[in-house]
Amino acid sequence: MAFLGPDGEILPVISSSPNGTVVSSSCGTPIAFDGEETLEPVDVVLDPGHGGPETGSVGSNGLTERTLNLAVARHARDELVSLGYTVALTRDRDLQLPIRQRAAIANALSPRAFVSIHHNGGAVRRSETPGTETFHQVDDPESARLAGILFEDLHAAFAPYWVSWVDTVHQGASVRLRDGRTETYGVLRLTPDLNSAIIEALYLSNPPEAALLVIPEIQAMEGRAIAGAIDRFLTSEDPGSGFRPEFYDPHTTGTGTARGCHDPELTPPTEVSTGFTAEEYETLAATAHHLGRSTDWVVRFGVHALKFLSLLPDADPIRPLDEVDRPDAYGPISEVVPWDQAEHAVLIEMADAYGLTRTQVQKLGAVLMVFLTGLEA
């Protein structure tokens, strides 16, 4: 399940309870978000590679892979929709999107085919034919069939053009492995239950190929070829072709991480109120004074401390508290605590884990902080 964000971003649901809904943001951060538009499963998810500060390959003509990938993906989507398929793009604008988030989106939408669209860089060896490469999941016949058909149709689509092609020994459909015999590419490794493949249609780093790829009609043609290959995969038992032996190459470029990624504020801070008796509040205020902080900061930090303690190596799994152990979160003095979208997700997570309301888990966090400060004193 996923929500559609205010700017069209797809936000996979991590958890949903009476306390609220937690989704994975575009940067892959758990945030609280109760959207109005849910997304149903689709037939195909297309993933335009790179985006934001990650340009990918750059042609000598200035064409960037992030822009080209998106243009081709949009053409492929439009063609698939015209064939009657439901389609989603992991990104439909220039957006930084970590690999884990791309995979999370695909997993949330349960497509029959998931294809990550890329264009290559680095090859210098001259070739008589396009250096098209596709990659599939290890030991997965359907993923291999998808990659083989994509290679077959893309290679055939570009072959008639008179271009000084380049390629490598990996021209064709293969598996790139790392230690442990798992896929090097995260979009394949993190979508084990999907029919997933990556395409590297041409070498954008090769000036003659960059000159071809900058032409809008060529981008549209490539999109149609991708759509046709996916349609053939979904409607036939064609085996594909161009298969190469698997190979070990664990080195990656370091792209696709969440490093430097910044989420916009999708929802304003949420205020949650908890009640205290006069005696409890006096103790809370004394704790805040001792720490040189406000009382709402102490409550908020206490909830984060609950989360931290749960992550310690020898920590026991959190279990819902028995009725008798649940804190009384009502009293004549109210403490109103603001939570931004990421902090609110932690509040919801801890409330769900302990079987409490958000109000009650705030009280639990306050009790923890009073106790820990008392130990320090």
Share of the chain above pLDDT 90, in %: 89
Residues 276 and 206 in one domain: no
Q: What is the pLDDT of residue 153?
A: 98
User: Last residue of some domain: 214, 248, 282?
Assistant: 248
Q: What is the pLDDT of residue 253?
A: 66
| pLDDT, average across residues 364-370 | 95
Which residues, in sequence order, are CB contacts of 233 under 8 Å at separation 6+?
113, 145, 146, 149, 150, 195
Q: Give the model confidence (pLDDT) of 171-213 as tens digits.
A: 999 999 988 899 999 999 999 999 999 999 999 999 999 999 9
Q: What is the pLDDT of residue 259?
A: 86
Residues 84 and 134 in one domain: yes
Residues 211 and 326 in one domain: no
Residues 42 and 134 in one domain: yes
Residue 260 pLDDT grade (very low, low, confident, very high; cuts 50, 70, 90) = confident
Number of domains in the chain: 2
Residue at 263 is within a domain: no
Residues 221 and 320 in one domain: no
Q: What is the pLDDT of residue 377?
A: 58
Which residues, in sequence order, are CB contacts of 137 under 8 Å at separation 6+?
143, 144, 175, 183, 188, 189, 191, 192, 196, 197
Q: What is the pLDDT of residue 24?
A: 96
295-310 vs 278-291: helix crossing angle, rounded to 10 = 80
Share of the chain above pLDDT 70, in %: 99
Residues 325 and 208 in one domain: no
Q: Give the model confidence (pLDDT) of 110-142 as tens digits.
A: 999 999 999 999 999 999 999 999 999 999 999
Residue at 257 is within a domain: no
Residues 189 and 282 in one domain: no
Residue at 33 is within a domain: yes
Which residues, in sequence order, are CB contacts of 146 under 8 Å at separation 6+?
113, 115, 136, 195, 196, 197, 230, 233, 240
Residue at 264 is within a domain: no
Query: Is 80 exceeded by the pLDDT of residue 86?
Result: yes
In order, the DSSP letters of 225-264 are: HHHHHHHHHHH-------B---EE-----S-SS-TT----
Residues 340 and 200 in one domain: no
Residues 229 and 350 in one domain: no
Query: Is 70 exceeded by the pLDDT of residue 164?
Result: yes
Residue at 168 is within a domain: yes
Residue at 265 is within a domain: no
- Sheet with 113-120, edge to edge strand ranges: 87-89, 44-48, 113-120, 196-203, 133-136, 172-174
Two tokens, residue 29: 């951060």
- Element containing residue 333 per DSSP (H, E): strand 333-339
Residue at 83 is within a domain: yes
Tell me if 195 sits within 8 A of 146, measured CB to CB. Answer: yes
Query: Is 90 exceeded by the pLDDT of residue 270?
Result: yes
Q: What is the pLDDT of residue 35?
A: 84
The CATH code of the domain that includes 223 is 3.40.630.40
Residues 219 and 359 in one domain: no
Of 112, 103, 121, 241, give the one whose Cα is nearest residue 183.
103
Q: How far apart are CA 32 and CA 341, in angstroms?
A: 5
3-state secondary structure 186-222: HHHHCCCCCCEEEEEEEECCCHHHHHHHCCHHHHHHH
Q: What is the mean pLDDT of the chain?
A: 95
User: Last residue of some domain: 218, 248, 278?
Assistant: 248
Residues 87 and 209 in one domain: yes
Which residues, in sequence order, are CB contacts of 168 under 8 Å at separation 6+?
122, 123, 125, 131, 133
User: Last residue of some domain: 216, 248, 280?
Assistant: 248
Question: What is the extent of the structural domain holding 68?
Answer: 2-248
Query: Is 80 exceeded by the pLDDT of residue 52?
Result: yes
| pLDDT, average across residues 19-45 | 94
Q: How far apart are CA 272 and CA 353, in angstroms?
A: 18
Dihedral (CA of 205, 207, 209, 215) sign: positive
**CA of 368: how far to CAs of 90, 178, 195, 317, in Å?**
41, 44, 47, 17
Q: What is the pLDDT of residue 300?
A: 96
Q: Give the model confidence (pLDDT) of 324-339 as tens digits.
A: 999 999 899 999 999 9
Query: Is 80 exceeded by the pLDDT of residue 90?
Result: yes
Q: What is the pLDDT of residue 203?
A: 97
Amino acid at 190: L
Q: How far apart are CA 133 and CA 119, in angstroms?
A: 9
Q: What is the pLDDT of residue 27?
A: 95
Q: What is the pLDDT of residue 232?
A: 98
Q: Give the model confidence (pLDDT) of 64-73 as tens digits.
A: 999 999 999 9
Residue at 261 is within a domain: no
Residues 311 and 196 in one domain: no
Query: Is 70 exceeded by the pLDDT of residue 254?
Result: no
Beta bridge partners of 183: 177
Our measurement of the distance from residue 111's CA atom to the centroid of its chain's CA atoms, rounded to an integer in Å, reads 15
